[in-house]
Structure 1
Amino acid sequence: MKTYEVVHQATKSVSSGIFSSPLGHILLIGIKMKVCQILVLCVLLCVTSAFLFRSRVHARANGREIESSCLAHADAGSCEFYSCFERRLPCGRTWYILKTGQYYCNKMQSERSRFSAEGQQFLDAAQRCMTQALKDTYRRDDMDCHDLEHLAFNTVRPCFIENGFCGILGEDHGELFALFNVRDLFTRGAAKIWRTVFDLALTCARETISEVASNADTAISNIIDSAA
């Protein structure tokens, strides 16, 4: 069973009560994210040691030319970009490009129809942002695969936030977190994606609660001023 579904079932009976209001719904999302975040941190303890002692791998183009079609795939946010990137700068199936980038890109595309119209726009824009961010790296003649992994993961947060992640979290949070399966956590790199996404969700929830409180304070002040 998927992690989000487990948490959802555990909180379903509670959500019909104190969490039934709009603000309560936001708080419930935050609680679910916190539970999943704890799971991620536990798994990270298991996979970090293997990551730290991993040998360095360098990808080299060895004369392979830059393909204009590959750059076009990057501009379009196509999952094909990861395949042609790997052909030019091969790190292997255990590194980011194939193990994480291509895997989650394909998964987002296969689950795209489950999202709202706004959610689908987010998926398209975020994926396009992440592939475009790797264009300059694709043009290089050599690249340390470990450094490439860090560079790629560092694009997730800005690409999600700048393309409306917080805006779709309310309606599409179920579909979004259903993209992640428990078994994914035990593949190197996937836990980083989980941690990043859950941290973003918690940030969004806190910002929304703050905004609701601010709007309520403004409304009360306006009522008091009008009555004065």
Structure 2
Amino acid sequence: MLRYLILLFLFTPTFAQATCVPSDQSCDFYACKEREHACGKKGYWQDFGYPYCQKFLKDEARFSKDSQIWLQDVRYCLQVRVQEVADGTSCNSLHTQAMDSHVSCYVDTGFCDLTYMEQVKIYWYLKGALRSADTWREAYLLKQACANRFN
């Protein structure tokens, strides 16, 4: 009987694996996804998702009330959308697919409705990501999407 209890104890964690849960209040999702689908320091989870999520979360109080609401909404949206593309995706294509989901999350959660100064502030926080051509492309697409909403 003791042997069965020991075996049950040893194998229970594999049956009860927690899945990563998107949150509008936390960035733990990205660390969880890295544990589930490790892509390393240069992968999307560690090199983009988690650090920028943390940066905005840490300084959220520095933004206007409308931007704080937007930051929470977009945080959740980005996590949900990247989770949709992450399963079965190689680390190489994960970054591109995750970035492709950013513009729609930004627009869908109201980025275009924020004041110009708040939009500039958000871009300023993303300035470190501008070393990537993907980020420039996404910024251009976001600007176009916002402009098209008002035409």
TM range (shorter): 0.7 to 0.9
SS in 1 for 2:114: helix
Gap runs ≥5 in structure 1 = 1-62, 211-228
Gap runs ≥5 in structure 2 = 1-13
Partners of 1:127 and 1:103 in 2: CA distance? 12
Residue 146 (structure 1) shift: 1.7
Structure 2 residue aligned with 1:21: none
Residue 127 (structure 1) shift: 1.1
1:200 maps to 2:146:
no
The higher-RCO structure (CA 8 Å, 6+ apart) is 1
Residue 164 (structure 1) shift: 0.4
Which structure would you say has the larger Rg? 1
Partners of 1:203 and 1:134 in 2: CA distance? 20
Percent identity over paired residues: 25
Structure 1 residue aligned with 2:10: none
Structure 2 residue aligned with 1:225: none
Structure 2 residue aligned with 1:104: 52
For 1:45-124, list aligned pairs within 5 A.
Answer: 66-68=17-19, 70-71=20-21, 74-76=22-24, 78-124=26-72
Match of 1:160 among 91, 101, 106: 106
1:146 maps to 2:88:
no
Structure 2 counterpart of 1:201, which letter?
K
Residue 171 (structure 1) shift: 4.2
- TM-score of the aligned structures, taking structure 2 as reference length: 0.76
Partners of 1:108 and 1:121 in 2: CA distance? 12
Residue 125 (structure 1) shift: 0.5
1:185 maps to 2:130:
yes
Structure 2 residue aligned with 1:173: 119
Structure 2 residue aligned with 1:40: none
User: Aligned-residue CA RMSD in angstroms?
Assistant: 2.6
When the two structures are aligned, how many residues end up with a matched partner? 138
